[in-house]
Amino acid sequence: MATISLPRLRARIEALARFGALPGGGVTRSAWSRPHEEARTWLLDEMRAAGLEPWVDAAGNVFGGLGLRELDAGRPAVLTGSHIDTVPEGGILDGALGVLAGLEALHVIQETGAAHTRPLAVAAWSDEEGRYGSLFGSRAFCGMLEVARLSEMAAADGERLVDAMARAGFDALRAPEAQAPAGACAAYVELHIEQGPRLEEAGVPIGVVEAIVGVRRTRVIFIGQADHAGTTPMERRRDGFLAAAEFALKARDLVVKRGSGRSVTNFGVVHVHPGVSNIVPARGELVHEMREPDPAVLDRLARECAALARRVAKRRQVQVEFRPLSATAPAPCAPRVQAIIETAAGELGLGTQRLHSAAGHDAQNLAAITDAGMIFIPSKGGRSHRVDEMSDWEAIERGGNVLLHTLLALAN
Ligand SMILES: [Zn+2]
């Protein structure tokens, strides 16, 4: 039975970690940044050295093909991959593992001449972490880009996507050309670190993802009345911030009590206007995020939270407005791919557990155009999006071998 080379995979993981490396460990490698573009060049060289046919599409996605030079509707390919961009002060495995284990799997198939009737390709999807637009490259590939928004997309610091991509030698307005021909993908499977504690705590080496959560972000704005913070009697105040604060606490309880048990919510952005200590806040603004793998539950929670916000606003005599910011639908993984991953793990003597992904991944976009699945390996301490994110090398080797045999099964 063919197996991956852990020393070769480890050497590539450590080599990629040098692009954007931070002095205290970890890495900052934002999409389209200089370290990211240097990593792209390195990755293309590694693909070539592994006997793959590399190419880059109009959205900056990097591909290494085995048995194909470009995606072709006439010869559907089995795809794997992930991303090589990172969050600021991120770890060395998020995304990198899926790309480099995919490269290693194809390298092994290439050098052993393992039979595969379908062509294979490994992809590194651009801007997965969303410095300019989350899951950008896979959205372009799957035909999901909002073309009209491309020229206004920008990072939190105001840098425009068109400028960042131009610096890296790409034309953002042409990114929609990256859309894959219909029928060009036979299946997609992505290996990723779990980024949470469930597998480690259960002592299970391989996670089989059933669904990826949908994420909904809404700006909720409570509009009251600015007043003198000293002279206005307490009972006459229409405080936009206190309404927002009450809503945040009650929405948290609502999601915990009325959600599926997998539902989570967060208020990570709060603005108070005018933000002066001697003025009663006229406005309190929140960004309300919710995640849940079941679309019906996510819809219901969104309706119930909106009704809650209206009740809070009414009682506090303020207005409330909702501005939807983004909404991704929950993505179920294909039962066929889940079964193949379980069979591959079983043949390697590895236990599996089905779970949902509470983080977004490129696989959720691929799930809309082909049979998609994900393989998780345990994250040490459940840590991710931080510099000490890590998994045991043995866990990485197991995940790589499950990926290899899943790809072979999908390609035959
Ligand atoms: Zn990732």
What are the pLDDT digits (tens) for 285-314?
999 999 999 999 999 999 999 999 999 999
Q: How many CB atoms lie within 10 A of CB 15?
A: 14
Cα of 195 to ligand 1 centre, how many Å? 9
Residue 363 has pLDDT above 90, yes or no: yes
Q: What angle do CA 26, 27, 32 make, to 5 degrees?
A: 165
The model carries a pTM of 0.91
Cα of 165 to ligand 1 centre, how many Å? 21
Cα of 7 to ligand 1 centre, how many Å? 22
Cα of 232 to ligand 1 centre, how many Å? 50
- 101 and 374 Cβ atoms separated by less than 8 Å: no
Q: pLDDT tens digits, residue range 1-17?
A: 899 999 999 999 999 99
- 50 and 64 Cβ atoms separated by less than 8 Å: yes
Residue 263 has pLDDT above 90, yes or no: yes
Cα of 29 to ligand 1 centre, how many Å? 13
Residue written as tokens 């390298």? 107
Q: What is the model's pLDDT at position 409?
A: 98
Q: Residue 113: which residues within 8 A CB-CB, separation 6 or more?
A: none
Residue 319 has pLDDT above 90, yes or no: yes
Which of 403, 371, 412, 362 lies closest to 178 in space, CA to CA?
Answer: 362
Cα of 117 to ligand 1 centre, how many Å? 29
Q: What is the model's pLDDT at position 272?
A: 98
Cα of 219 to ligand 1 centre, how many Å? 25
Percent of the chain with pLDDT over 90: 97
**What whole-number distance in Å separates Cα of residue 218 and Cα of residue 16?**
36
Residue 340 has pLDDT above 90, yes or no: yes
Cα of 94 to ligand 1 centre, how many Å? 4
Q: Are strands 185-193 and 206-212 parallel, antiparallel or unpaired?
A: unpaired
**What whole-number distance in Å separates Cα of residue 265 and Cα of residue 278?**
32
Q: Residue 37: which residues within 8 A CB-CB, separation 6 or more?
A: 168, 169
Residue 321 has pLDDT above 90, yes or no: yes
Arithmetic mean of pLDDT, 316-340: 96
Cα of 225 to ligand 1 centre, how many Å? 43
Q: What is the model's pLDDT at position 48?
A: 98
Cα of 385 to ligand 1 centre, how many Å? 9
Cα of 399 to ligand 1 centre, how many Å? 15
Q: Residue 154: which residues within 8 A CB-CB, separation 6 or more?
A: 132, 160, 161
Cα of 97 to ligand 1 centre, how many Å? 9
Q: What is the model's pLDDT at position 104?
A: 98
Which of 127, 202, 201, 143 lies closest to 176 in space, CA to CA?
Answer: 143
Cα of 206 to ligand 1 centre, how many Å? 17
Residue 84 has pLDDT above 90, yes or no: yes
Quote the mean pLDDT of the chain: 97
**What whole-number distance in Å separates Cα of residue 13 and Cα of residue 10?**
5
Q: What is the model's pLDDT at position 153?
A: 95
Q: What is the model's pLDDT at position 388?
A: 95
Q: pLDDT tens digits, residue range 216-248?
A: 999 999 999 999 999 999 999 999 999 999 999
Q: Are strands 331-332 and 283-292 parallel, antiparallel or unpaired?
A: unpaired
Cα of 190 to ligand 1 centre, how many Å? 10
Cα of 130 to ligand 1 centre, how many Å? 11
Residue 152 has pLDDT above 90, yes or no: yes
Q: What is the model's pLDDT at position 21?
A: 97
Residue 326 has pLDDT above 90, yes or no: no
Residue 191 has pLDDT above 90, yes or no: yes
Cα of 386 to ligand 1 centre, how many Å? 12
Q: How would you class 183 by CB atoms within 10 Å of its CB: exposed for 0-12, middle for 13-18, buried for 19 or more?
A: middle
Arithmetic mean of pLDDT, 15-38: 97
Q: Residue 6: which residues within 8 A CB-CB, separation 6 or more?
A: 393, 396, 397, 400
Cα of 286 to ligand 1 centre, how many Å? 26
Residue 134 has pLDDT above 90, yes or no: no
Q: Residue 214: which residues within 8 A CB-CB, separation 6 or more?
A: 291, 292, 293, 295, 298, 327, 328, 329, 330, 331
Cα of 123 to ligand 1 centre, how many Å? 13
Q: How would you class 201 by CB atoms within 10 Å of its CB: exposed for 0-12, middle for 13-18, buried for 19 or more?
A: exposed
Cα of 345 to ligand 1 centre, how many Å? 22
